[in-house]
Amino acid sequence: MSPTDAPPAQDAGTPGAIVRVAGADRPRWAVRADDGGLRGLGTSLAALLGLPLDEARHVVAAALADGPAVDAGGDLLPPVDEQEVWAAGVTYRRSRDGRTEESTDPSIYDRVYTAERPELFFKSTAARVVTDGDDVGIRVDSGWDVPEPELGLVVNRSGAVFGYVVGNDMSSRSIEGDNPLYLPQAKVYSRSCALGAEIVPVWTASAGPWPVRVTIERDGGTAFSGTTSTSELARDLDDLAEWLVLALDLPAGAVLLTGTGIVPGADFTLAAGDVVRIEIDGIGTLTNSVVVVGRRLHAEESR
């Protein structure tokens, strides 16, 4: 299957979910009604996440009751406007084992897994985020690449969890495994961060924990599939959010990816043309085709 063959996974959507819709003049934020239609929020996500949680809930409820109809046929855009995306690492036992497997200095991951302070790292600016139906990338200078299916927390300016979103923290295992200090290059590059199109507010979401599934399709077949549950998280979700804002001002809020419990074995790497499908029950779906991004260094090109 070619990258252009992967259809967006958008469906009728989740009632109460918040989406960003392309418009003729500008994107609009909207909330999905019970009938599948969209009602305009009349404000930005940044402004919404600048409010206390109770006030933000009131704004969403008012939009559902009286908000103007928004064309539900418009493309759904990445569900961020001014938010940074951050990520947590080594929050599942399987993630710890996978990082240990790839690393030349494995002991540090045992220490991170059991430490009080979590591993938190910057993942993406809002402008670099891709969404459902877009391409995700693997680096041209990496030989071992995997998706990381994750539950994302949408947190407000004070660090309270406003909602949830499906995430894919694309990762180069070969680059990070070579040296843990290469983590930014393994994690932060073009098309390395994908978020589902819907934010499900905490008051709308079903009670967790939530099952997480990933399927990677290649040449019409299944190259890899895996499942986990957020019950396997070694960290508390609210605690992760609290650590994020401990010494960091986030006036527009942020998205915090909470780590992955699904790590393919050393015999698997993503390839261009693969299609990655992630599902988190009650939260949403995310489907992306894989493309190669970047260019090789001049010295490598001349060989």
Q: Which CATH number do you get for residue 150? A: 3.90.850.10
pLDDT in tens, 238-272: 999 999 999 999 999 999 999 999 999 999 999 99
Which structure tokens are listed for 159?
């660090």
Say if 168 falls within a structural domain. yes
Between 4-8, 76-80, 188-192, 279-283, the lowest mean confidence (pLDDT) is in 4-8
Say if 48 falls within a structural domain. no
Say if 38 falls within a structural domain. no
Say if 49 falls within a structural domain. no
**Quick one: what percent of the chain has pLDDT higher than 70?**
90
Report residue 246: phi and psi, to 5°. Answer: -60, -40
Say if 257 falls within a structural domain. yes
pLDDT in tens, 117-140: 999 999 999 999 999 999 999 999
Say if 171 falls within a structural domain. yes
What distance in Å separates the CA atoms of residue 90 and residue 120, rounded to the nearest whole number?
10
How many domains would you assign to the chain? 1
Question: Could you tell me the pTM of the whole model?
Answer: 0.91
Say if 297 falls within a structural domain. yes
The residue segments making up the domain with residue 226 are 77-301
As a whole number, the mean pLDDT across the chain is: 91
Say if 42 falls within a structural domain. no
